[in-house]
Structures are given as structure tokens and as C-alpha cells.
Structure 1
Amino acid sequence: MSAKLVFSWDELKKEIEPVLTEAKNKLPKRIYDELEAKLQKTTEEYGLLPEEAKKIVEYVLSEYEYSMVEPGEPVGTVAAQSIGEPGTQMTLRTFHYAGIREFNVTLGLPRFIELVDARREPSTPIMYIYLDEEHKYDENKAKEVARRIEFTRVANVASEIDIDLVNLRLVVRLDPVMLEDKGVTVEQVKKVLEKLKLGKVEQDPSDPLTLFIQLEIGESFSLMDLQKKREKVLNAKIKGIKKIRRVIIQSMTNEEGRTEYFLVTEGSNLKDVLNVPGVDPRRVYTNNIHEIEEVLGIEAARAALIREMKDVLDEQGLDVDIRHIMLVADVMTQTGRVRQIGRHGVSGEKPSPLARAAFEMTTQNLFAAAARGEVDKLKGVTESVIAGRVIGVGTGIVEVRMNPSQIVKTMKESGKEA
């Protein structure tokens, strides 16, 4: 090895080439690239000797090999215990989401149960919508995007809607404050009411914020009919995206030190939000796992599951290794769809009838398996325990077999008696 005291990165790389090649062959590409980048940075800033660099690489290799799962390790049991034990310390309450007082977001154990049960709709769906370059630095432009997204009905901009029984008409009085807040004009509301085709829509000459709908009703009608027409007017859509009940504008300081505006929504509709002008489609996030699966695919759903479960545990101050969470997400998504951990998902779809029966609905599972003539090969942990067999994990995966005839043949060939 050279006695030189200062090495450039290229010189150092050449000196430790054998150990770097070994690392490249053994480490995942991402880890190796990170190791090489840090070695280069350290060499350029502080200077590294070949002996020091070699020790660093060897240490990383040794730590990586130590962290690998041993053959036969019961990873499912370890993951279950690692998540289940801290899970007993999780709270049952629903907290206000930090920084957004207006929204309640389900956290703690109820949210974790939602995730592993793969509920179709979260109890509190929420979206984080980041904007494109044109809209994210201007609060007024961000407000324009928010107005495009927020689902606005006539009920949101009307102060009252009365039934005028004398003239058989509906009286819609609009709230000027709400009209301005939602970015809606009286003309827009009028057009929406005309599309309902309940009758002729007219504006009160003395009050431009009051609209009359002259109802077209036959000779026989009931108060219930009028009430249904009133409900239809209340729920008439003016603009926005279905399911997005409210949108709040939030701000943050980005990496460049500039104030950036983004939107937080109560309700979720990923497919439609991605098509809204002004939205950056690469930076839209929802806590609805099934929406992510339908719009972006199973890999995106798996990543969202890991993120959501990790966030729940971190928020509770529980330190669980992310690899246990990744294993749960892998099992839930390995078939190409998001399945719950339960009798209608992972546990209920096990190939072993005994394992299914041991989880839930014992007699129903056994009768169904018998009716179908299923065979249990006793390969899994649960069914092996039931049958009193050695479990196929740890030392249980090792089998020792003997061939007596081969032993006799070998002894005869060596001149020994069997």
C-alpha cells in the first residue's frame, strides 16, 4: 500500500478496488451507491487513507450481512409480535390533526385497524394537494384551485330556501358572504336551478340575491312532493369535485426558503383531483388506500400502506422497525389487490383448511373444506401445531435422511461387515 498521505477519490478508489468490488457484488445497488458517494465526499472534504476507507467498507459489509434474515427465521411471528406489543399501548382516541384545527383525523388504534382491515373508505378521508409552479407561490391562485376542487351545492351558498304555498313556488335567498367565499355568482346559481327543470326561474327585481322557482305541479300534490323538490334544490351541484366536502389552504416554507401554498381537503377523490388545472399530479396524496390502488396501481398502494402504518406508530411515539411493517404490506398486496388481514382476506384465503379453521368460523371452514374434498399438506405453522408435527421454521426446516442400503454398500466396499 502506498505511503502517500493525501489521495484523490480516483486514486483511493483504485487502491481499494478489491473490497469495493466485493461490496458492489453483495450490497443492494442503492446502499452501494450511497456508500460510494459518502466515501467520495469524505475523501474530498477531509481526506481518507486507503486503510481507513477499506475498514469503512468492511464494516458496512459486516453490518449488512448481520442484518440479513437467517434461513428459517419465523419472520411473520416476529413481525406480529413487534407490531402487536406496541399496539397495546396505542390510544383509542381520535385527535385533531396537527395544524388543521378544523379537521378531525382518525389516529391511533382505530386508524391502524382501518388499515389492516383494508376498509373501503377511511372514517376521515383526507388529501394533501400540492400545486404547480404557477399556482403554489400565490395565495389567490391557490384559492382559485381550491374553489375548483371544493364541492359546492346550492345549500352552501343559500341563507334559506322556503316553500311559498300561496304562489306554489320555492324562494331561494342567497348569502352574499358565502357567494364570495365560494367564488360563485348569482348567474351561476340561476343556471343550475334552470337545469333542474322544476319550473321557471326568476330573479326578484327588488332583491338580486333572491330567486323564485315557479313550480310546475299538477292538480293533485302533497307537501311531501314540495319538500322533495326543496331537497333537490338544496343538493344541486354548482361546481367542484364529488366527495370533497371542504378545502383548506395551508402554507409552508420550502427548501428554497419561499412560502409555498398547498391544499388539505376533507374528503378524497384522487382520480378527479389529478385532472384539475393547477394541481401538481406528482405531489397529490390521499389516505384512502383503495383509491390509490385503483388510480395508481398496487405498488403505489403498498407504499401508501407502509407510510400510513408507520405514521400512525410514529405519532404514538412507538418505535417499530419499518421492515416488519413492510412485511405486513407485502402480504396484504402480494396477490395484486389490497386484502385485509382477516377471514375475508389473508387468513381466509390460506391454502390450508386447518389454518383457516383455527383463525375464525371453525366449524363452517371445516364443513366447507370437507364438502370440497380439500387436502391439507400440513406445511404451515398453524396446521403443523394442530397435527403435532415439527414446525418448518428455525431448526425445523432441517431434515436428516438416511439410506441404509447405501451404508451397507459403502461398508462392504471398505471391507467392513455391516
Structure 2
Amino acid sequence: MKEKNKGKVGVILILFGMLCGMLSFTSCQPEKGREKLPYSMLFMTTDGQQYIWQAEQLDTGTIDPVINGALLDRPAKIWYYMLVRDGFYYFVDSKTEYLIKGKIQDKKFLRLDSVYLEGFSYPDNALFLDDRHLFIVNHSVGRKKKRYAKINVQDMRVHIDELALDAPAGPFDNMSVGFVYKRGEQLWMGYTYHYTNSEMGYGSADTVYVAQFSYPEMKLLNVDKDARSTYPGNVNTAQQNTFEDEKGDFYFMSAPGIVRGANPQQPTAIYRIKAGEQHLDTSYFYNVSDSQIHNHAYGMWYLGGNKAIVRSERKDLFRDYKEHYLLPHNEFYEIDLLDPSYSRKLDLPLDRGSSRTCVLVEGDTAYITINDGKGNNDVWLYRTKDQHLEMGLHIAGNIDYIFRLERLHTE
């Protein structure tokens, strides 16, 4: 009896295999055998709706996220705060102050879990310390000390505490943590202070502060100061502005321009903390505003071999803060971190949007998303070896902004 049943099972398996071949090998594979979709993109339409599209490739083709993507209907607008890690999405619901964990399934955004983060309506800065722990610094709340939340995203347990940084004082009524960087048993944070009042409007102190903490104790070890620029790092959920190179040297860019520090008299600059060192490398100061770029910048991505892409503004093409978001005026440059005399403007359409995670570097290719304000929303491919540009994936439909492009899974 057992041998007869075994034979029947064998015939069934053979027929099932033939059926898979006739239909689609991919669709008939068991769930565990399917290749993971590598990319995630977040869009906003001209009527303010937001969609997520998980892409198989970025090199060619056309997609319409409204037709084929997943609508974010609760809440409708999270702007650029969505974080992606290992196939899951994380964002703070600004109304409820809950950190939401979700995923895309059957073209729907499913909320899987949440945890309450009191006083964290918006993240000032966020970093995955490892595969399990998410570190968030809260948005400034007046002349109070900054707070941080360390969340275990597997069981959604949270630890919240104050940062041992001086609270704003004197003319400054708020502050920003522009980057968080972990190296071994140390945690670095770049920050500065701001003022907001009816007489002077909004602006920043004229100093870059870099604090070093022990981790996980979060004991303040040291604070470096540099008055050559301000607002180190800026909002990392908006666009990348830090990286570590092959040697382990850590680079970050300051952002004194109108949409971040609002202290445009100071230059945008790149700083460095060398591998194995505990302080800012005071001998290194890449003055972006005084280079051939000759403008303020807000985004920076590493290409390898001491080269990086910088996304800079064109101050002659906008008048104020609002126009900075709305009008196409952003350019992309390739720079050499060790040779300020070298810069190469990429032959791309002018880009729009002040808060965009718009460059993804994979090997010798940099994928650059462009929304030019004329309905042309595309992924461009920059081949770094031969410095060749070509158009890749085209985004169709009534898309206003491509907020984010990133890998869906860590490698």
C-alpha cells in the first residue's frame, strides 16, 4: 500500500513540475525559492497621494506606480521619513507618535506592528545600528535636551532617554542632530543650534558640533567644534550626506544653505573622521561652495576610489524657500574627495525637490532619479568607469516627486 501511494505521489509531482514549466517557472516556485525584489521606490502624485513600488530592475522599461504600486492610505503623507530595512518599512505616524512597521503584500501596505514613541512626532535623524536595532533622534522641541529612542524592530521593544548634549540657550531655541554614525563601541553625532523668531526668522549657529559617545552606555566622551561651517549632516531621512570609504574614513557634509541651516554666508563643506581616530580631522576641509560647484549642496553619495556625487542647488534659479522645493534647479557633480580642483558636472536634466533620497550606488553604476517638473520622471544610469550616462527606468503617470530609491534588502 505504501509503495502504491509513493508511486501516485511521484506522478503528481511530475505533472506539477510540467505545469510549472508551461505556466511560469517563477510563479510556481515555492515562496522561499523566489528571488527577492531588490529595489524600493516611494512616489508622490500631483494630487498628493503616495505609492510604493518594489522594482525588479532599474535599467530599462516603464512603470506606473498608480496602477501597479501600493497606495499609502494611512496616513496619506509621510513625505520622506519612510525607512526601509530587510523588506520591511518603518515610519513614525506624526499624529499618534507610533513607530509603524509594515510591508507590501498584494499591492497593499500592511501594518504589522507598532510601538509608542512619546515626543517623536518626526524623526530628526535615524540609523539602523544593526539588523535588529533602529536608533532615532527626536525632532527639536524648544529649549529642551534632545532625546533618543533605541527600538528592537523584531519585538518592537523601545528604550527612550535623553542625550547628554547641552540644550539650546541664549538666542537659540532649538537644535538639530544632523547625523548619527556608529563605529565599533563609539557613536558619533553631528549637531548644531537654531533660532526661530519673528524678527530674524529661522537660522543656525555658525558652528559644527560633533559629539562622541560610548556605546551602548551612551556616555558623552567628547565634543569637537568647528566654526568654518554649520549644520553637519542635515536630515539623513531626506537624502544621504554621510558615508564611510574603503579605508574606513568617515565623511559628512554640512548644510548651511537655505533649506537646512539657513546660514548661507557659511560654505557647504565636507568633513572627515579618519579610521582609528577619535576626533575630527582638522587638516581636512573640502569647501564645496568655493569649488567649481560654487553653490550650496545637500546630498552626497560615495562612488568609490575617492570619488563622490554631490547634489547642489542653482541659487540663480530660485528666489526663496518655497521655490527651492518647487522649481527644477538641482545639479549633480562628480567630485574627488582628495582633489578639490576636480569636479565634473553630470549632463542630466535639472532636478527638483529639496528632500529626496535620489541616488543609489551599486558597483560601477550610480542610479540617479530625476523629476524635472515637466512630467519627465526617470532613473538615469551613470557608469562610473567610463563616465557614461544613459536613461534607464521611466516612471509614467501623474507622478510629482520620486521621494526615495533604495535597496529593499540589506546584503
**TM-score band, normalised by the shorter chain?**
under 0.3
Report the structure number with the largest CA radius of gyration.
1
Compare the two structures and name the one with the higher strand fraction: 2
TM-score scaled by length of structure 2: 0.23
